[in-house]
Structure 1
Amino acid sequence: MTRPESTGHDYDVVISGAGLAGSAAAVLLARRGARVALLERRSDPGAYKVLCTHSITANAYPVLDELGLVPALEKAGAVRNEARWYTRWGWIEPRAAPAGPELPYAYNIRRSVLDPLIRARAAETPGVDLLPGHRVTGLVREAGRTLGVRASTPQGEREIRARLVVGADGKDSAVAKSAGVPTRLHENARFGYLAHFRGLPLHGGIGQTWFLEPDMAYAFPNDDGVTVLAVLPDKKRLPAFREDLEGSFLSFVRALPEAPPIDSAERVSKIIGAVDYPLLTRRPTAPGLALIGDAALTGDPLWGVGCGWALQSAQWLAEAVAPATAGRGDLDRSLAVYARRHRRRLRGYQYLAADFATARSFNPLERLMFSAAARDEAVARHMYLFASRLISPLRFLSPVAVARASAVNIRHRRASVPPAHLSRTRS
Structure 2
Amino acid sequence: MTNDHDVVISGASLAGCTAAILLARRGVRVALLERRSDPDAYKVLCTHSITANAHPVLDELGLIPALEKAGALHNDARWYTRWGWIEPRSAPEGPELPYGYNVRRSTLDPLIRARAAETPGVDLLLGHRVTGLVREAGRAVGVHASTPQGDREIRARLVVGADGKDSAVAKFAEVPTTLHENTRFGYLAHFRNLPLQGGIGQTWFLEPDMAYAFPNDDGVTVLAVLPDKKRLPAFKEDLEGSFLEFVRALPEAPPIDSAERISKIIGTVDYPLVTREPTAPGLALIGDAALTGDPLWGVGCGWALQSAHWLAEAAATAAAGRGDLDRSLAVYARTHRRRLRGHQSVAVDFAKARPFNPGERLVFSAAARDESMARHMYMFAARLIGPLRFLNPAALAKAAAVNIRHRSAGVSPAR
The alpha carbon displacement at 1:160 in A equals 0.1
Q: Does residue 52 of the first structure (1) align with residue 46 of the second (2)?
A: yes
Q: Does residue 105 of the first structure (1) align with residue 99 of the second (2)?
A: yes
Q: Does residue 69 of the first structure (1) align with residue 63 of the second (2)?
A: yes
The alpha carbon displacement at 1:408 in A equals 0.1
Alignment partner of 1:81 out of 75, 84, 101 = 75
Q: Does residue 290 of the first structure (1) align with residue 280 of the second (2)?
A: no
Residue 372 of structure 1: aligned partner = 366
Q: Does residue 266 of the first structure (1) align with residue 257 of the second (2)?
A: no
2:234 is paired with a residue whose SS is helix
Residue 23 of structure 1: aligned partner = 17
Residue 406 of structure 2: aligned partner = 412
CA distance in 2, matches of 1:198, 1:240: 26
The alpha carbon displacement at 1:399 in A equals 1.2
Q: Does residue 184 of the first structure (1) align with residue 178 of the second (2)?
A: yes
CA distance in 2, matches of 1:387, 1:395: 12
Alignment partner of 1:136 out of 110, 130, 134 = 130
Matches within 5 A, 1:88-99: 88-99=82-93
CA distance in 2, matches of 1:9, 1:130: 16
The alpha carbon displacement at 1:294 in A equals 0.1
Residue 333 of structure 1: aligned partner = 327
Residue 229 of structure 1: aligned partner = 223
1:172 is paired with a residue whose SS is coil
Residue 233 of structure 2: aligned partner = 239
Residue 294 of structure 2: aligned partner = 300
Alignment-mate amino acid for residue 312 of structure 2: A
The alpha carbon displacement at 1:142 in A equals 1.6
CA distance in 2, matches of 1:341, 1:357: 24
CA distance in 2, matches of 1:269, 1:64: 28
The alpha carbon displacement at 1:417 in A equals 5.7
Q: List, as ranges, runs of 4+ consecutive aligned residues in structure 1 with deviation greater than 3 Å.
A: none
* Deviations 1:316-370, CA, capped at 9 Å, x for gaps: 0000000001111100000000000000000000000000000011000000000
2:157 is paired with a residue whose SS is strand
Q: Does residue 196 of the first structure (1) align with residue 199 of the second (2)?
A: no
CA distance in 1, matches of 2:401, 2:281: 51
CA distance in 2, matches of 1:140, 1:315: 25
Q: Does residue 386 of the first structure (1) align with residue 380 of the second (2)?
A: yes
Residue 112 of structure 2: aligned partner = 118
The alpha carbon displacement at 1:35 in A equals 0.2
The alpha carbon displacement at 1:151 in A equals 0.1
CA distance in 1, matches of 2:87, 2:2: 57
CA distance in 2, matches of 1:257, 1:174: 42
Residue 165 of structure 1: aligned partner = 159
CA distance in 2, matches of 1:240, 1:163: 51
CA distance in 2, matches of 1:416, 1:83: 29
The alpha carbon displacement at 1:416 in A equals 1.6
1:416 is paired with a residue whose SS is coil
Residue 350 of structure 1: aligned partner = 344
The alpha carbon displacement at 1:8 in A equals 2.5
The alpha carbon displacement at 1:119 in A equals 0.3
CA distance in 1, matches of 2:407, 2:274: 41
CA distance in 1, matches of 2:241, 2:393: 46
Aligned pair in 2 of structure 1 residues 407, 132: CA closer, same or farther (>3 Å)? same
Between the two proteins, the alignment pairs up a number of residues equal to: 412
The alpha carbon displacement at 1:9 in A equals 2.0
Residue 360 of structure 1: aligned partner = 354
CA distance in 2, matches of 1:321, 1:269: 41
CA distance in 2, matches of 1:417, 1:239: 40
* Deviations 1:79-130, CA, capped at 9 Å, x for gaps: 1000000000000000000110010001000000000000000000000000
The unaligned stretches of length 5 or more in structure 2 are none
Alignment partner of 2:244 out of 243, 250, 261 = 250
Alignment partner of 2:7 out of 5, 13, 31 = 13
Q: Does residue 211 of the first structure (1) align with residue 202 of the second (2)?
A: no
Q: Does residue 42 of the first structure (1) align with residue 42 of the second (2)?
A: no
Residue 269 of structure 2: aligned partner = 275
Residue 425 of structure 1: aligned partner = none
The alpha carbon displacement at 1:400 in A equals 1.0
Higher mean alpha-carbon deviation, 33-42 vs 390-399, is at 390-399
